Structure 1
Amino acid sequence: MSNIPFAATTPISVSRVGLKARDANALASFYRDVVGLQELKRDGDTITLGAGSRALLDIEADQAAKPDDPRSAGLFHTAFLLPSRADLGRWIKHAIDRRIPVDGASDHLVSEALYLTDPEGNGIEIYSDRAHDGWKWNGAQVEMATRQLDIGSIVSEVPDGDAGWQGAPENSIVGHVHLRVGDPAAAARWWHSQFGFDTVAEYGNSAVFLSSGGYHHHIGANSWQSPGAGRRDASLTGLAWVEMRSADAKAASTYEDPWGTVIRAVPGQPG
């Protein structure tokens, strides 16, 4: 079994994500069949999925919800971090065999990632990290880029005779969450003040990447589709909340960012 990824070993990290769905059963099937999550429990109108015994995603049914508006504040993507490059190779072979549509694939220097969209329009990233001791830092800024992904090299990590993709392996986590916001600078100020996050990368005025403990980012915030967006409409499908695990938290607490996105903090040690 692979070790827990570095992203989960920092003082604060992403615990899980909540989505509001018009068809929770269909969406849960997608995350099982395509992403490889396992259904852990059902509680009323909420379906919880995860990897091993770790809950990563709650899908809350709301048949009256309105479709999400990509121009509003909300979710850009939930990023599922696999423990190893070979695991990413297994998922890629699974995606090829199942003819799963992907929206893109990129080498970000610190990580290698593929992107897709779920049936209700929520963005998904499936990725693996390169070893964090090999990341390049320029002072407090980590070097990231968007380059062509070498699919063949990743797939070659899968040993001959391997059993192949068996679903998201134990120690898969939500490595980061990328948010749509109206103003990335305001988002950065909020994450600095409420969670003590560091700004580790900026793409002009349109995107900012923030983290705890030297990770390349636990939170991304961009205004690529949503410049000037106001408060999020709570009746929309899509992002319901993001839950952060914090070693400093004494009790569970709930915050709202400047766009009304609900951010939970729960006590918990790294790992």
Structure 2
Amino acid sequence: MKDSPNSETLPQETRIGRTALRVNDRDEVTEFYRTVVGLGVLDESETRSVLGVADTPLLVLEADPDAAERRRSGAGLYHTAFRVPSRAALGDALARIRENSRLTGASDHWVSEALYLTDPEGNGIEIYRDLPREEWPRSDDDSVRIGTEPLALDTIEAAGTGAARTPPGTDIGHIHLEVTSLDAFRDFYVETLEFDVQTTVPAAAFVSAGGYHHHIGANTWQQRTAPVDGRGLSWFEVIIPEREALTAVRSRLEERGIPVTETDGDLVVHDPDEIEIRIRVDSA
């Protein structure tokens, strides 16, 4: 198990791409992400909405009116984390949340400042901004330390500019999953995909590439026992900067007997909780 950064891992520029949610009421959920999160609608049809910032898609909403509510025992999404580029953008997000929704939490994580809320169908959302990387606390092995302390919301509010939209530079900084087993999570995401463990806390682990505080979080706080199903997380993307690294990932998956399919050059795999991951080369 790789519990600290090492040279035999994913490339430093690896990042999270789009997240896709399966929703019952596409119109309502689209309006929520437009009004509250501040995303723009980039493409829309009867069956899906694509939302993002400028020309960059971040979130795909797949309409499925017949999808059952996620089982209480089912693995899946804890939250999608939208990373904004400044405290001013975070202040604007706070204002939109207070005006149009409800804030469910706010934390200073030592590496970031984060706001939490939930969309109309129960999908968790984090909106956050990173603190300067050189200020992140680190352990002796150079892994990042992540804490949770109260966030001074008055300073966040004071930084806002009144913007109704998230600015260019916003992306999905990480995704946090609810899983059935942290051992199985590590075996797949660390030993096979080769993310590095950055931080562990009781019943949770946070992994990344390139020394980032985390690209993927996982927890067993709700003691989920069944694979992903029903409404909620449909799939998410891991974007790798070069074709050689993608080929290496495919080789590791095949060596471990993990089924891999390919669609338009993307690798499509499923983790131990049957969560779909689409791995592709960065086209930017």
TM-score by length of structure 1 reads 0.89
Of 232, 245, 249 in structure 1, the residue corresponding to residue 246 of structure 2 is: 249
Of 113, 116, 141 in structure 1, the residue corresponding to residue 143 of structure 2 is: 141
Distance 1:94 1:44, change over 3 A: closer
1:116 is matched with 117
Instruction: Number of aligned residue pairs: give it.
Output: 253
Deviation at 1:44, TM superposition (A): 5.0
CA distance in 1, matches of 2:81, 2:12: 17
2:36 is matched with 34
Which amino acid in 2 is paired with 1:207?
A
Which amino acid in 2 is paired with 1:187?
F
Q: Is the 8 A contact 1:73 1:226 kept in 2?
A: no
Q: Is the 8 A contact 2:68 2:231 kept in 1?
A: yes
1:260 is matched with 274
Q: Aligned runs of 1:151-166 on 2, under 5 Å? A: 151-158=153-160, 162=161, 164-166=162-164
CA distance in 2, matches of 1:231, 1:95: 31
Deviation at 1:124, TM superposition (A): 0.4
2:214 is matched with 217
Deviation at 1:150, TM superposition (A): 0.7
Deviation at 1:171, TM superposition (A): 1.0
Q: Is the 8 A contact 2:36 2:100 kept in 1?
A: no
Which amino acid in 2 is paired with 1:230?
A
Deviation at 1:192, TM superposition (A): 1.5
Structure 1 unaligned residues grouped into runs of 5+: 1-8
Deviation at 1:184, TM superposition (A): 1.4
Q: Is the 8 A contact 1:107 1:149 kept in 2?
A: yes
Which amino acid in 1 is paired with 2:28?
A
Which amino acid in 2 is paired with 1:40?
L
3-state SS of the aligned residue for 2:159? Answer: coil
Of 93, 96, 99 in structure 2, the residue corresponding to residue 94 of structure 1 is: 96
CA distance in 1, matches of 2:30, 2:150: 31
Of 14, 17, 27 in structure 2, the residue corresponding to residue 15 of structure 1 is: 17
CA distance in 1, matches of 2:211, 2:71: 33
CA distance in 2, matches of 1:218, 1:194: 16
The two structures, once aligned, show a CA RMSD in angstroms of 1.7
Q: Is the 8 A contact 1:20 1:62 kept in 2?
A: yes
Q: Is the 8 A contact 1:192 1:198 kept in 2?
A: yes
Question: Which region of structure 1 is more displaced relative to structure 2, 183-192 or 57-66?
Answer: 183-192
2:181 is matched with 183
CA distance in 2, matches of 1:70, 1:211: 28
CA distance in 1, matches of 2:157, 2:122: 28
Structure 2 unaligned residues grouped into runs of 5+: 1-10, 248-264
CA distance in 1, matches of 2:69, 2:93: 29
Question: Which region of structure 1 is more displaced relative to structure 2, 137-146 or 217-226?
Answer: 137-146
